[in-house]
Amino acid sequence: MIALIQRVSQARVDVAGATIGEIGPGLLVLVCAEQGDSEAQADRLLAKILKLRIFSDEAGKMNRSVQDTGGGLLLVSQFTLAADTSSGNRPGFTNAAAPEEGRRLYDYFVEQARALHPVVQTGEFAATMQVHLVNDGPVTIPLTVR
């Protein structure tokens, strides 16, 4: 699975002009399931995200996790993270999980996140979304779990 994590001071997802998910300080996580991924990869990715020390401590060093700070998680499915741009100028998405499998793993990821973290909001799988964020830092980190 692939995730692109952005430390934010605020973020929200709108669908058809309505806000469906919104957080204050925390992490905006764009998530993509790839072919062959399973719950094991989802579990490892979530564990890494929850423990990733990218929030500042009292000394200003990145030493605290989203769990330490109590920040929110905004989880947004984004199959385009699996883009293959190695040939030509049009990206291919054959590495992404099939839509049904991608939805199943995204739903599983969200369910596990809600069981482990108190503030979890989401986008809408396969919807056209507008994602609004204020990147704090900026801090943006790609993660891949195989």
- The catalytic position among 55, 79, 121, 122 is 79
pLDDT in tens, 96-124: 999 999 999 999 999 999 999 999 999 99
| CB neighbour list of residue 47: distance below 8 Å, 6 or more residues apart | none
78 is catalytic: yes
Query: For the chain, which domains are there?
Result: 2-144 (3.50.80.10)
Is 80 annotated as catalytic? yes
The active-site residue, picked from 19, 80, 130, 144, is 80
Select which of 78, 112, 121, 122 is catalytic.
78
How do residues 65-78 score in pLDDT, each as one tens digit?
Answer: 999 999 999 999 99
Rounded Cα gap, residues 65 and 53, in angstroms? 4
